[in-house]
Amino acid sequence: MLRLKACGWGLKRIARQLGCSHHTVKVYVAANGVKPFKSPERPKRLDGLEGRLRERFIRHRGNADVVRQDLLAEKGLAVSRRTLQRAVQPYRQALRAEALATTRFETPPGRQLQIDFGERLVEIGGAKIKAFVFVATLGHSRRLHVRVIGR
């Protein structure tokens, strides 16, 4: 296009010769060559929620689908799973790096037991009850012993 224009050809003649629109020729000639494509900036559905997404993503240990369900339940904001996966990608990389940087504390068999307690509201048969959870984890084998008591 630029060579033909330098030879004195008009925009419409160049367009006919190359089989494209004269508007395309005009744009290329004005840009003096290839004009890089720039996608338009548009608002995204998750703009302004970055901090909340990061906090929830870390809390749910990298489960983007649970974060998506939280957004729907709490904010009424329905987004696709893929949209949320793209939004939390930087946080996923940070979780991966943190996991690699963490060194597991190794103990010989029978030397360490970790005990955790917790409670959660669960729905059983249409009724909400408070469930108390006891978890014992052996340090060497990582075997679990779990008991749940409901009230």
> pLDDT tens digits, residue range 6-53?
999 999 999 999 999 999 999 999 988 887 778 888 888 888 888 888
Domain boundaries, the chain: 2-31, 50-101, 113-150
Confidence (pLDDT) at 141: 86
pLDDT band at 5 (very low <50, low <70, confident <90, very high): very high
For 147, the enclosing helix (H) or strand (E) is strand 144-150
What residues contact 119, with CB distance under 8 A and at least 6 apart? 130, 131, 132, 133
pLDDT of 95 > 90? The answer is no
pLDDT of 117 > 90? The answer is yes
Residues 127-143 have a mean pLDDT of 91
Residues 123-142 have a mean pLDDT of 90
Whether the predicted model's global pTM rises above the 0.85 cut: no
Residues 106-130 have a mean pLDDT of 89
How far apart CA 130 and CA 132 sit, in angstroms, is 7
Confidence (pLDDT) at 77: 87
